[in-house]
Structure 1
Amino acid sequence: MEFLPIRKARNLIRRKIIWIATAAAIILVTAICVSNPQYASPPPKSPSMAPPAQEACDIFSGDWIPDPEAPYYTNKTCWAIHDHQNCMKYGRPDSDFIKWRWKPDGCELPLFNPYQFLDIVRGKSLAFVGDSVARNQMQSIICLLSRVEYPIDMSPPTTDKHWKYVNYNFTMSYFWSPFLVRSGVRDDVGPTNIGLFNLYLDELDESWTDQIHGFDYLIINAGHWFNRNTVYYESRRVVGCRYCLLPNITDLPATYAYRRAFRTAFRALENFAGVTLMRTFAPAHFEGGEWNAGGDCVRRRPLWSNGTVLDGQTLDMHAAQLEEFRAAMGRGNRGVRVMDVTKMMLLRPDGHPSRYGHWAQEKVVLYNDCVHWCLPGPIDSWADILLHLLNMEARR
């Protein structure tokens, strides 16, 4: 039987050893953080890091306000930026376009906190499904999270991407599906030299619908590909087309296919156990001509909401999405939410790459890009909204 004084002495020694080891660990971690800013502690709270906006506030209506602290990464600190959106690398002469943040009317929307985001998605998975603007958004999030951790690329040799945040057991994926439904190339050239596609409006695109059932969060989008030359099929027969210039086929507006594609996508998600965010149409800002006829986006400041309204195709596409969303809810699909960025991005004609997605002297056929968004740039504010929506889901 151990004597009490001896037992106390041993316990005291153990406590001292634990204290010394803990102090050494703290010193080591502090040294790492000082020498590696990407591992630094979360920024102190400020008005922009206030508690999440109340659910009653419409975070999708507001204006862009100056943010002198932005950007929160640069094209030199983040390797995930696609060259065509790397505006500063390719000589964009102004930088004011990165000094704004989205401010909803009547409430505060906290700036994206990478630590809070990764804590919410710890042990979970998120997938983007859609076109290259979805990829643009994913790369924005990777850059914003780079202050905490860079992911490991787990991707197969396809257009799909899978990123693993090891320290948080979080997976972020991207599935290429610009029409959300089954499609195929009908003619490599087509009437405008960019190809003619077959679009099967009532058939699932199994390249993503067969892979998303294990995910916790899904962000779906589609948009500008619906302006391409396409032939529309329903029940395996031609019902019309978009600029196909084929005999005896009726030309239909892009919204015809857009509406039906979302209807089919929502049907695919009826048994999805996770949460789906439908990201709405992000407007292009071509002025002075169409994308292939000299159009460009040369503005250098945001617009104000009180003088800007949705109209034309942007209004029609946005309305079609929301109507199909409401119809899906009416059919009992309660796992879908709206991430309505259309109005806020309508105000940012200054945020596109324009000609600054490649070197000016390059002898390549590239049109001015007024569809995608510079990184860093306005699309980073989508992360503020995404974090707010995930916070709301955590409180449900």
Structure 2
Amino acid sequence: MESLLSPVLNRKLLLCAIASFLGFLLLSCSLQRASRPSTAIASLTHLESTSAMADLAGVSVPAPAPQPATAATIYSPPPQSAMEVEMVAASPSELVLAMNSSPGSSQAVHPSPPADGGEETTVEEKKCDIFEGKWVFDRWRYPLYQPHWCPFLSDQVSCRRNGRPDSEYEHWRWQPSGCDLPRYNGREMLEKWRGKRVVIVGDSLNRNMWESLACMLYSSVRKERAVVKQRSSDYKLFRALDYDCSVEFFWSPFLVELKEREDHAKILKLDKIFANGRRWLGADVMIFNTGHWWMHHGKMRAWNYFQRGDQVTEDMEAAVAFNRALRTWARWVDRNVNPRKTIVFFRSISPEHKTENLHFCYNQTKPITNERYVQWFPKSMVDIVERTIRKMTIPVTYLNITRLSEYRRDAHTAIYTSRQGKLLTIEQRLDPTRHADCSHWCLPGLPDTWNVLLFASIMTSSSSIISSTN
């Protein structure tokens, strides 16, 4: 029996061995196929990676074509270029910044918040300087009003009424570099100033600004619901009854007091604010300026002596006197103005275009298009204003209209104006070197832009003073 079973057993053992060997070979082949990456999966993985990066950059990538199903579940990702490795290694915020920003770009980037729930990081946006830019001719949007809409405009600024033949000076719009000004809307301005009192204090250039602002607002209301009072050149008032809003002008060319003695000598008191200063108090918006009167000489000079404390002197450099007066004004503002109640502005010097500036205003119809300009007002006095404002406790917004106004030699009243309450005669107009007014500005005209910039400053202000009502 043992001899009969042995051959059968041997054959079975041989078959088992062969089967095991074949199974081992099949298993090895299967493992080798599984270890090689599927072309379809590798392509899909690359597209998914590209799509993810494109999503971060805001770029649309077409979806991949459908691929046949595969049973493989183990694969190695395809090799990446050095650039791809660097981009994948970066954080999401770094990736967006790298793909969306260019050198020198001021555009703010707002990446997605990190996955760990931390605070969102942003690249700080560079604030646009609305006082840097260029003049653009805009016949459709400018002027903002017609002069006959405002019968109260004085002869000093009513150039068209006084016979000026050209009108292109009315159609120039200021365009800041890198941003746009909010389009001026008189009713929106009045709504912002509902229940508010605006006070403009300074010389005749601030009176020029008041006339412009009063006309811009007057053109936006029903005439029977507006009040305009001009008791004298020293005080003017515009009031919009439906908005309970008033805009006042107070004449104070030095901001400090000018007093006449019994002997008729005029004393400029450098340490005492203008006598009407108490009437400025309580305003929601204050707009100050001074400058031109400090540079007058000879018969044009308004004072005979300077006084500081008990000391009276005839000789003092204009810049020194100006500095002391500005410090007096700054102390008055710091002591008397409540920053939770009032926003304070200081308008920079309004440029002149006389013969010594190399750009005489007479007979000019186009803005200056080159940089060849000699400032009439000393830079040292401009520096005094800016330094004084920086040192103040109360925040003051600087309306820096000087440079943008320097280009507008065409916008002055020139010979189409009045002097001492009387229009220039024909003989005076024929002698522009002596009689042309290259200080004040036609209306409509440049001061309208000053008020548009004021409007923009208020609209973008973070202060709650204007947005709240009393």
Same fold (TM over 0.5): yes
Specify the SS of the correspondent of 2:403: helix
Q: Does 1:184 align with 2:255?
A: no
Aligned to 1:212: 280
Specify the SS of the correspondent of 1:59: coil
Q: Does 1:272 align with 2:272?
A: no
Deviation, structure 1 residue 197: 3.9
Deviation, structure 1 residue 205: 0.9
Work out the percentage of aligned pairs sharing the same amino acid. Answer: 29
Aligned to 2:407: 347
Q: Does 1:298 align with 2:366?
A: no
Partner residue of 2:312 out of 230, 235, 238: 238
Specify the SS of the correspondent of 1:307: coil
Partner residue of 2:371 out of 283, 301, 307: 307
Does the aligned pair in 1 maintain the 2:351–2:376 contact within 8 Å?
A: no
Unaligned runs of 5+ in 2: 1-124, 465-470
Aligned to 1:65: 136
| Structure 2 CA distance for partners of 1:156 and 1:250, relative to 1, 3 Å | closer
Aligned to 1:263: 327
How do 1:15-54 and structure 2 match up within 5 A? none
Specify the SS of the correspondent of 1:258: helix
Specify the SS of the correspondent of 1:64: strand
Aligned to 1:170: 245
Specify the SS of the correspondent of 1:268: helix
Deviation, structure 1 residue 159: 2.3
Deviations 1:142-190 (A, max 9, x none): 211233224313566672122221010101111111110011347999x
* Whole-Å separation in 2 of the counterparts to 1:372 and 1:158: 15
Deviation, structure 1 residue 221: 0.6
Deviations 1:326-368 (A, max 9, x none): 121xxx223x211111111111111111111145546789832
How do 1:93-104 and structure 2 match up within 5 A? 93-104=165-176
Amino acid at match of 1:344: L
Deviation, structure 1 residue 308: 4.9
Aligned to 1:50: none
* Whole-Å separation in 2 of the counterparts to 1:100 and 1:262: 33
Deviation, structure 1 residue 227: 1.9
Does the aligned pair in 2 maintain the 1:318–1:342 contact within 8 Å?
A: no
* Whole-Å separation in 2 of the counterparts to 1:214 and 1:288: 42
Amino acid at match of 2:129: D
Deviation, structure 1 residue 289: 9.0
Aligned to 1:27: none
The farther-off stretch of 115-124 and 357-366 is: 357-366
Deviations 1:44-97 (A, max 9, x none): xxxxxxxxxx98111111111111121122222221311011111111121111
Partner residue of 1:124 out of 190, 196, 205: 196
How do 1:81-120 and structure 2 match up within 5 A? 81-120=153-192
* Whole-Å separation in 2 of the counterparts to 1:155 and 1:381: 23
Deviation, structure 1 residue 311: 4.2
Amino acid at match of 1:139: E
Deviations 1:290-325 (A, max 9, x none): 9xxxx7533221123x62567453423322211111
Specify the SS of the correspondent of 1:353: strand
Aligned to 1:283: 351
Deviation, structure 1 residue 132: 1.0
Deviations 1:204-228 (A, max 9, x none): 1121x21122110000011211123
Partner residue of 1:333 out of 386, 394, 397: 394
Which one scores higher on RCO, CA 8 angstroms, separation ≥ 6? Answer: 1
Specify the SS of the correspondent of 1:372: strand
Amino acid at match of 1:177: S
Amino acid at match of 1:299: Q
How do 1:193-208 and structure 2 match up within 5 A? 197-207=266-276
Aligned residues: 317
Specify the SS of the correspondent of 2:146: coil
Partner residue of 2:211 out of 139, 142, 152: 139
Does the aligned pair in 2 maintain the 1:279–1:340 contact within 8 Å?
A: yes
Does the aligned pair in 1 maintain the 2:357–2:374 contact within 8 Å?
A: no
Amino acid at match of 1:324: T
Deviation, structure 1 residue 389: 1.3
Specify the SS of the correspondent of 2:381: helix
Give the aligned CA root-mean-square deviation in angstroms: 2.8
Does the aligned pair in 2 maintain the 1:130–1:178 contact within 8 Å?
A: yes
Specify the SS of the correspondent of 2:416: coil
Does the aligned pair in 2 maintain the 1:185–1:197 contact within 8 Å?
A: yes
Amino acid at match of 1:117: M
Specify the SS of the correspondent of 1:278: strand
Deviations 1:8-64 (A, max 9, x none): xxxxxxxxxxxxxxxxxxxxxxxxxxxxxxxxxxxxxxxxxxxxxx98111111111
Deviations 1:193-252 (A, max 9, x none): xxx742111111121x2112211000001121112323322113124xxxxxxxxx4352
Aligned to 1:152: 227
* Whole-Å separation in 2 of the counterparts to 1:75 and 1:213: 32
* Whole-Å separation in 1 of the counterparts to 2:150 and 2:263: 35
Amino acid at match of 2:165: P
TM-score (norm 2): 0.62
Higher helix share: 2
